[in-house]
Amino acid sequence: MDEDRWIEVTGLHKTYRPRRSEPTHALSDVTFTARRGEFVSVVGPSGCGKTTLLKILAGIVPRSQGTVRVADRDVTGPLPEVGMVFQTPTLLPWRTVLQNVMVPVEIQKLDASVYRERAERLLAMVGLDGFEGRHPHELSGGMQQRAGICRALVHDPAVLLMDEPFGALDALTRESMNVELLRIWRESGQTVVFVTHSIPEAVFLSDRVVVLSLRPGRIAEIVDIELERPRTLGAMASDRAGVFVERIRRHFNATSVIDS
């Protein structure tokens, strides 16, 4: 396996062809790679194909053209090597926190006794030990999202895909979740592809930021984020981070189509 090309996307195009309306060209000639263990964010204006790109990587949506490989496998459908965290936690309300985290284990018919121990360790890692028997309505939004992250990680995927997972949280909770995510990533070693509308968030979290253009989404630039790790919230306000934020924002200043 080539660990420098843990994720490899080449010449990716996606066109949606609904039966009763005109085709929509969502992505055009997208090409990029991600190294094993790298944290890559994707930013771009609304409707540029960020979520479509993530769903193609997850094998949920088929590509129209090009090649997509994850962990040295062609993506032609959902892969056990991939975990996904959605915009909302989508926890099953009738199941406990631990039961929700175990859903991928049940779907993939893995050894529940082995993975239950891993699920409990993950919940402890994100500060949810003692909440295993609670139900989703008993948790705050941030706690629910932590449980969703545990669910995506429980089967130890090679790649973690995250689609604006903190967009619905208040600013303070979102900042704390960013710090928590970096800690989880550092301890788990997963390769992360993270979609966000927030340029400062992308800079704070990432090794590299993939900048997409207006639809159809094309690669406008791939920016290496040369900030030291580990990072604290202070790094988000540093002059060095500001340089990267402004470099990315220049792609959108003319039309003001992306959040600050």
- 21 found inside a domain: no
**Residue 117: which residues within 8 A CB-CB, separation 6 or more?**
none
In this prediction, the residues of the chain whose per-residue pLDDT falls under 70 are: 1, 254-260
- 19 found inside a domain: no
CATH number of domain containing 124: 3.40.50.300
Domain with 119, as residue range(s), is 35-58+76-249
Chain centre to alpha carbon of residue 67: 20
The upper half-sphere exposure of residue 29, i.e. CA atoms within 13 Å in the direction of its Cβ, equals: 4
Total domain count, the chain: 1
- 1 found inside a domain: no
- 188 found inside a domain: yes
- 23 found inside a domain: no
For residue 3, the model assigns a pLDDT of: 84
For residue 256, the model assigns a pLDDT of: 44
- 68 found inside a domain: no
For residue 146, the model assigns a pLDDT of: 86
- 83 found inside a domain: yes
CA 93 to each of CA 116, 148, 241: distance values in angstroms, whole numbers, following the listed order: 19, 13, 40
For residue 1, the model assigns a pLDDT of: 63
User: Would you give the DSSP letter of residue 217?
Assistant: B
For residue 81, the model assigns a pLDDT of: 86
How far is 254 from 103, CA to CA, in rounded Å? 45
Q: Are strands 24-34 and 73-74 parallel, antiparallel or unpaired?
A: unpaired
Q: At 72, which amino acid appears?
A: D
- 115 found inside a domain: yes
